[in-house]
Structure 1
């Protein structure tokens, strides 16, 4: 068991959230009970995750996507009311870390996705150095072959935008909705870029620059960092730990 402030301090020391210019607040977003025995982790603070965590006996929930984002409507109505009501009524703490969790060199989403897919970062690129680039462990002669490997490891279909058919030796990646990093990945020397989502322009960039693009799912690419972080802090503080994966087609 640990006090809420112990968990908050450990998470802050591990992820260093003040280093990042982010889209919402990192850290404790909803205050619950003081003492924490069980920590539940998940990707997004959805109502489904909150309810599942409460049912499992969680004292705290740790997520990548929290409740509050820059520019959103500040009224507590509808879905926001439902989520907050569940947390406050049951005195469950909610911790959320966005870009700091993406970027951590060992526990972060980018590092953990690479570990899951079988490669490692050799360099960084893009805004706040969030994007990663490295060598593939073996050359893939086709986009379909690499895409098949990604699909098998993540358990979901991908969307692929073909480049010029070059052998794929260097891969760049950034989890989640990082399709806007594609041009920076091209400039960094990638043969293929992997992220969670694709927008209309990226298919044209792939065709015109020759660099391939794989969209492997926002949720699917961001399942691993919060698990690694949750396991580590739970072990350090002697907490019970559980990861709950709420299925998401995005």
Structure 2
């Protein structure tokens, strides 16, 4: 598969041109023209790059890439080392942030919903590209039952701020650092909100707006979009794809 072809397939699938983001989406570092092996992962860390080199990958596809808005643009230190490794081994880096979160079948949010058994999925926000989603469980869960399900699915014990509601029928969620959406979820009368991270004020909001809150890990909740995209590419384009999970407790 050519680099140009892969870039076109990813852009057509994820439609980054329609989503305002804090980083460039698409091909961030250009490598070799022909791609036989792709490594997918959550973040383009040095550990992921090193593993891609070991696997003789021609391209890396991630959710968290480089060149974030407001960051120092100078190629020094850690950033220099990462990019130097990619260039030395002629590895392409493709990164898609919010477009990967919101994709209706392969995205981080819908993939997490599938794993948790959430049904009747809708946008939490108005508009075509809602970053957060909402839905229902087929059978209501207690707060502790949902905590156990998250642990079983993600392999990480979530932080739970439990309120007075005895059962959870409705749930909203946003993978990664989506704790700011708890206000919107609570204002819609939703029973529980799941995300990756927690801020100090999030706990007060949960308590005062009577909504169960779960922080299940930024990395843990965002492992599944990049993996799903890789599986799609392997199935539909015959390219060799391997998902590499670099452990991160955050």
TM normalised by structure 2 equals 0.96
Counterpart in 2 of 1:61? 60
| CA displacement, residues 101-160 of structure 1 (integer Å, 9 cap, x when unaligned) | 0000100000101111112352112384111101112111x3122111111111011101
- The residue matched to 2:61 in structure 1 has which SS? strand
Counterpart in 2 of 1:38? 37
Q: Check conservation: 2:197, 2:218, Cα contact below 8 A.
A: yes
Could you tell me how far apart the structure 1 residues matched to 2:5 and 2:188 are?
A: 40
Could you tell me how far apart the structure 1 residues matched to 2:211 and 2:242 are?
A: 39
Q: Check conservation: 2:165, 2:191, Cα contact below 8 A.
A: no
Could you tell me how far apart the structure 2 residues matched to 1:227 and 1:188 are?
A: 32
Q: Counterparts of 1:61-140 in structure 2 under 5 Å?
A: 61-126=60-125, 128-140=129-141
Could you tell me how far apart the structure 1 residues matched to 2:57 and 2:121 are?
A: 38
Counterpart in 1 of 2:237? 237
The root-mean-square deviation of aligned C-alpha atoms, in Å, is 1.1
Q: Check conservation: 1:166, 1:191, Cα contact below 8 A.
A: no
Q: Check conservation: 1:134, 1:171, Cα contact below 8 A.
A: yes
Q: Check conservation: 1:121, 1:132, Cα contact below 8 A.
A: no
Counterpart in 2 of 1:209? 209
Q: Check conservation: 1:143, 1:212, Cα contact below 8 A.
A: yes
TM normalised by structure 1 equals 0.96
Counterpart in 2 of 1:224? 224
Give the stretch that moved more between structures: 186-195 or 68-77. Answer: 186-195
Give the stretch that moved more between structures: 201-210 or 118-127. Answer: 118-127
- The residue matched to 2:118 in structure 1 has which SS? coil
| CA displacement, residues 56-99 of structure 1 (integer Å, 9 cap, x when unaligned) | 01000000000110000011111101100100000000000000
Q: Counterparts of 1:186-205 in structure 2 under 5 Å?
A: 186-205=186-205
Give the stretch that moved more between structures: 162-171 or 18-27. Answer: 162-171
Q: Check conservation: 1:138, 1:169, Cα contact below 8 A.
A: yes
- The residue matched to 1:203 in structure 2 has which SS? helix
Counterpart in 2 of 1:49? 48
Counterpart in 2 of 1:173? 173
Q: Which runs of 4+ in 1 moved over 4 A?
A: none
